[in-house]
Amino acid sequence: MQVGFRQALGLILCMGVLTDGSALASPRTTVAQVPAGKTDPCSPPAIRRAAAQQTAPALTGCRYEAVAAPLARFFMTLPVARKTEDEAPIGTIIGQNPQAGQPLKPGGRLVLSVSTGRAPKVEDGTPVGSTAETSVSAGSVSSQSVPERSDTPIPQAEPPATPSSQASVVSPPALPAGKMPPAPIENAAPTQEMAPFRDMPTHIPWLWIVAVVALVLVAGLAVASARKPRRIRGRGGLAPNVSLRLTPGAARLKVRGSLVSGRKGRS
């Protein structure tokens, strides 16, 4: 049933793509019109192409802010903040699951590892980026959890491949702190509503939760019924009139011979 739900969600997302003005009649048509091998893997057409092929797009090295909006159209992204020791700048996707090219249906879950950058050392030894790490660990990983830093070089990794994708490939301007990337479409709204739950475990045992809640409810009802004071039925709680009725039956008379033994006479 869960697979069916995912397929339905993917279908709905694809329908949302179809209703978009920039999209064509079908994803295959879109794929056919986009020349393969010339698109930047971080560009929205590449992501759309991967979604049409039901594979995971190659996002390693991309800026999360640049791919967040197009990813939200096709997949359920779950970014995970990672502190790296290498030179990966802040906000760069350093890993993904499933890997690029692996099967991933539209609406599927795509876990992205986003770099929080390398915290520079200061004189007192307290890393400057600790604040960012704290906010990342406490809340969701998004553009506001990965603040722009002027000293961190932002790679211009996506050269424009095609004229059509040029406008969208350009990384969006730096958002002010506390703002999310622009909502791509209406279908992506549930993904952004799940932002507070991004740090929760990916597998939530809903069945167990429902079973436990039902068990608690049943137990509560049983206890309530057991503790329910037994009311005397009828007459608004007045004690009923209990009586024992002796219904006499027929009398049996046993006599040897005649019952009348003698005549006493009239008195």
Length of the chain in terms of residues written: 267
Residues 6+ apart with CB under 8 A from 199: 137, 138, 139, 140
Binding status of residue 254 toward another protein by CB under 8 A:
yes
Q: In angstroms, what is the C-alpha Rg of the chain?
A: 38
Q: Is 173 in the site for another protein (CB under 8 A)?
A: no
Q: Stretches 21-29, 142-150, 176-184, 248-256: which one binds another protein (CB under 8 A)?
A: 248-256
Q: Please say whether the beta carbons of 159 and 38 come within 8 A.
A: no
Buried b or exposed e, range 107-138, using 16+ CB within 10 angstroms:
bbebebbbbbbbbeeeeeeeeebeebbebbee
The rounded distance, in Å, linking the Cα atoms of 13 and 135 is: 31
- Indicate the residue among 227 and 263 with the shorter CB distance to another protein: 263
Stretch that binds another protein, among 69-77, 139-147, 220-228, 259-267 (CB under 8 A): 259-267
Q: How many residues bind another protein (CB under 8 A)?
A: 35
- The CA distances from residue 31 to 7, 15, 159, 257, in Å, are 20, 16, 20, 121
Q: How far apart are CA 207 and CA 219, in angstroms?
A: 18
* Interaction of residue 224 with another protein, rule CB under 8 A: no
Per CB under 8 A, 227 contacts another protein: no
SS3 4: helix
Cβ closest to another protein, residue 156 vs residue 261? 261
CB of 219 to another protein, least distance (A): 24
- Decide if residue 156 touches another protein (CB under 8 A): no
Q: Which residues is 110 bridged to in the sheet?
A: 77
Q: In the complex, what is the shortest distance from the CB of residue 256 to another protein, in angstroms, rounded to a whole number? A: 7
Q: How far is the CB of 221 from another protein (least distance, A)?
A: 20
Residue 138 interacts with another protein (CB under 8 A)?
no
CB of 215 to another protein, least distance (A): 28
Which one of 43-51, 78-86, 206-214, 230-238 is the stretch in contact with another protein (CB under 8 A)?
Answer: 230-238
Residue 203 binds to another protein (criterion: CB under 8 A): no
Task: Give, in order, the Cα–Cα distances in Å from 92 to each of 17, 44, 76, 95, 210.
Answer: 26, 16, 18, 9, 38
Candidate ranges 7-15, 165-173, 179-187, 245-253; the one touching another protein (CB under 8 A): 245-253
Stretch that binds another protein, among 4-12, 56-64, 218-226, 254-262 (CB under 8 A): 254-262
Residues that bind another protein (CB under 8 A): 230-235, 239-267
